[in-house]
Amino acid sequence: MNPLATVRIEWHEDVPVARVMGEIDASNVVEVGDSLRGLVTNQSRCLVVDLSDTQYLDSAGINLLFAIGEELRSRQVGLRLVVVPTSPIARMLSITSLDRAFPTHGTLPDALDG
């Protein structure tokens, strides 16, 4: 059976980028969260989470991103999100104000320049 979400990791110099493909919901939020948290070191200045290929994000996924963002903020590490502006995911981030709590960018290069 295929997992609902796959997290692909890329490094752009010292910035980890987690590209989440698929769906994030209550059934896999712990595993996705573990993958994202595992990328951040004491030398990290930010974490980029690319949701461009995320098809579904429920309240558990939204809460995960808020929690990770706050954890990182307490360590003086930034969270940047990549979301296609016209996607349903962008609408979810807007409704929940996640896009106002953490920088949201339309493309990965924009997020890396952030």
Q: What is the pLDDT of residue 1?
A: 38
Class at the top of the CATH hierarchy for domain 5-113: alpha beta
CA separation for the pair 3, 83 (Å, rounded): 21
User: In the chain, what percentage of residues exceed pLDDT 90?
Assistant: 90
Q: Please state the domain extents for the chain.
A: 5-113
pTM of the model: 0.95
3-state secondary structure of 51: coil
More confident residue, 108 or 1: 108
State yes or no: pLDDT of 114 exceeds 90. Answer: no
Q: What DSSP state is assigned to residue 63? A: H
